[in-house]
């Protein structure tokens, strides 16, 4: 089921890239926020088809369960560690004239409705991606390969699918953290909340830069 789901993800990625290329070639003005939200929601289709529909289970089988407050403390500590790692990593990349991720400031500056982009990036993407990569891929592979191997595989896929070569290592580290939180708590919600915080911090910093006149 997991490998079929990953095949579906590959098809989803190919169609998304093809659709974006077509839209650019036709000169259509499609709001990036709407694009992000719709594409992320489509990723739920293989998850629903191969779990909820096929086995007649509820979404709680994918990790939508309650959790203890201790998991949030552990998550916050690990995220602080990841942010420190990202800082050192970014400084290292800057020595070669590289940056860790694409600059989103120009995108936010040109949006007529930035709230839609923020909703897609901060609310929709974390929930959908955690359902797919942790609730579906990690949990499924864990049954056969053990949680450590499953964490490595799911984190690697999570990093690669973001299509940002210089950010693969930091995103891989985040994937490991999210998988560990799911393994520890039995719920994807701690990982979702940490994912939300990470995306919100990035968008908040970009928005602050715009307000301070740092956009180019």
Q: Calculate ∠ Cα 6-38-26, nearest 5°.
A: 105
Q: What is the pLDDT of residues 198-213, one digit of tens each?
A: 999 888 877 776 667 6
215 three-class SS: coil
Please count the residues of the chain.
Answer: 216
- The pLDDT assigned to 105 comes to 64
pLDDT of residue 131: 96
CA distance 50 to 4: 8
- Residue 73: is its pLDDT beyond 90? yes
Question: Which helix (H) or strand (E) element contains residue 178?
Answer: helix 168-185
Task: Please check the confidence at residue 72 and state whether its pLDDT lies above 60.
Answer: yes
pLDDT at 177: 97
CA end-to-end span of the chain? 46
Q: Cβ(117)–Cβ(36) under 8 Å?
A: yes
Q: Look at residue 175 and tell me whether its pLDDT is greater than 60.
A: yes
3-state helix, strand, coil in the chain (%, to 5): 80, 0, 20
The pLDDT tens digits for 103-161 are 666 666 666 667 777 888 899 999 999 999 999 999 999 989 999 999 999 999 999 98
d(CA 61, CA 182) in angstroms, rounded, equals 12
Instruction: Give the predicted TM-score (pTM) of the model.
Output: 0.89
Ordered alpha helix ranges (H), 27-138: 32-42, 44-47, 54-55, 70-94, 105-110, 114-119, 125-130
pLDDT 10s digits, 76-86: 999 999 999 99
Asked if 150 contacts 138 with a C-beta cutoff of 8 angstroms, the reply is: yes
Distance of alpha carbon 29 from its chain centroid, rounded?
A: 25
Greater pLDDT, 8 or 67: 67
Q: Are 112 and 169 in contact (CB under 8 A)?
A: no
What's the whole-number average pLDDT of the chain? 87
Of 185, 175, 194, 195, the C-alpha closest to 66 is 185
Which structure tokens are listed for 19? 């659709």
What average pLDDT does the segment 57-78 reach? 94
**% residues pLDDT > 90 (the chain):** 55
Apex 5 CA angle, 165 and 183, nearest 5: 75
Residue 171 in contact with residue 156, Cβ under 8 Å? no
């Amino acid at each position: 089921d997991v490998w079929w789901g990953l095949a579906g993800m590959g098809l989803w990625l190919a169609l998304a890239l093809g659709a974006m290329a077509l839209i650019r070639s036709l000169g259509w003005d499609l709001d990036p926020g709407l694009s992000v939200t719709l594409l992320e929601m489509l990723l739920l289709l293989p998850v629903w088809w191969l779990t909820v529909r096929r086995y007649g289970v509820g979404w709680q089988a994918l990790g939508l369960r309650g959790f203890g407050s201790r998991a949030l403390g552990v998550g916050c500590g690990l995220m602080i560690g990841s942010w420190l790692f990202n800082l050192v990593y970014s400084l290292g990349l800057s020595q070669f004239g590289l940056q860790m991720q694409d600059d989103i400031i120009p995108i936010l500056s040109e949006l007529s409705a930035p709230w839609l982009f923020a909703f897609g990036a901060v609310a929709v993407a974390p929930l959908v991606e955690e359902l797919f990569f942790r609730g579906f891929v990690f949990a499924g592979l864990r049954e056969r390969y053990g949680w450590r191997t499953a964490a490595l595989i799911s984190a690697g896929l999570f990093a690669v699918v973001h299509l940002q070569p210089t950010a693969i290592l930091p995103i891989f580290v985040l994937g490991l953290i999210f998988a560990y939180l799911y393994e520890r708590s039995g719920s994807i919600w701690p990982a979702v909340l940490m994912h939300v915080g990470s995306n919100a911090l990035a968008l908040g910093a970009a928005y602050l830069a715009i307000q301070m006149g740092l956009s180019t």
